[in-house]
Chains A and B, each alone.
Chain A
Amino acid sequence: MLDNVTEISMDQLAVEVWKAKQDKYRFVTMTCCDLMDAHDILYHFDKQYVLKHLRLRLPKGTALPSISTIFFAAVLVENEIKDLFGIEVTGLTIDYKGRFMLSDGAPVAPMNKAHLGIGLEIRDTTRTGTAGEAAP
């Protein structure tokens, strides 16, 4: 389970990330989840094999401030989130303008739940049951 999670607001983001850097945490990565009405942004840090997470609930349509000026290592994953979830990320130290992972003609924000996928993945394979049953 995910332990050591701190819920933060947009105002606290830069302060908390800066604090993590001052406390000698290493930036591990970021995770974005689509919650339908908002995006759940998780910042993962590590120090001596102990993880620390910051959780930011970002309402849809709101821009996300980049932390790449504090942790440069975050710049690539922020560009990826911008591509795959359609979130505007402001203050990026390197801005790929939505063309980091995706190319021209690619689906827009394909990782959002509203995007069903392409090809065979449009099939609805959601079902209930327990492990051990035959796969569809």
Chain B
Amino acid sequence: MLRFAPYVLKSLWRHRARTILTVSGAAVAMFVFCFVTSVQEGLERLTADKDSQRTLIVFQENRFCPTSSRLPEDYADKIDELPGVRGVMPVQVWTNNCRASLDIVVFNGAPPKKLRQARNLTLLSGSWKQFESQRDAGIVGRNVATRRGLIAGDQFSIGDLSIKVAGVFSSPSPAEENVIYTSLEFLQYTQGLDAAGLVTQHEVYLRESADPDSVASAIDQTLRAGPVATTTRRKGAFQTNTLSDLVDLIGFAHWLGYACVGLVLALVATTTVMSVQDRIKEHAVLQTLGLRPARVFCIVIAESMLLCCIGGAVGTMSALAILGAGGMAVGAEGVTIAFRPSLQLAILGMVVSAVVGVTAGTIPAFHAARAPIVDSLRQA
């Protein structure tokens, strides 16, 4: 079959305009498909990974926005005493926008030492020492730094908050890279928050043997007698609930992804049908020379696959490049979903392109292979 590769390539090149238009259309559609899929991947990572299932979030009962949840900081000590609990980190959350936004800035205030133990953060620049020792210092997630053009040593201000960038960090969890961490006290004493002794939420880390739902019930039960009632959920459930509007939207976008695949299918199938119709006589000549119908079938499929794969590769790689360079995220109420490139996404994009290429070419290829030779030779 490889012996016929030059014929396949030259046939595509013969109709350059048609080939380029089809490849461009496939590229645009696969770009959108990869983008939509990356949002879904981000949501999946946020709600289904081990951390989101083995970590609990204690929030004020019947409150959803971080600005309205105000829990006593000393709840941490009571929670820490409960069986199954390995550790507790009080977190003060501040966000510039409680509604859904593509440029959400989220500050999480937490005790630096606990933060370093709890999160697997890698400083790409700057120093932990400065972060731990300087009250108004913050470490900035890589995505935020990319979006806002921040580097270690910069001063960053938003609203009433102003921090000194002590470092830029990366994290295995892409959503973390949309967060700016400061010390807990810094956020508690920020003008306007008026949150001395209060925190937005407590993050509870469990022992391996602990059942998350039982511990969550125990926490709510224990704190029921306190000044503020709580609702405790797994981190994944908490994030899904917080992002419920966005989850619905992402669910809808998922259909948009399928529509893009359908678009590529229709586009490449149309081009392949046109190509086969144009060359029905040529295919008959090839069969007269001795090409088996199966070989003609494969030649048409190869052309269709090439169109799809080139378009798919361009679209997928462009999407990955933009996702990688842009540091984009969407978020609401202090929880963010990161759009990140991934090997899985690259493979998915290419596999979908190849499958669509084969599918789009099947009917035209069958037509080319099975058309009666004599009738086809008579075509002008």
Chain A bound to chain B = no
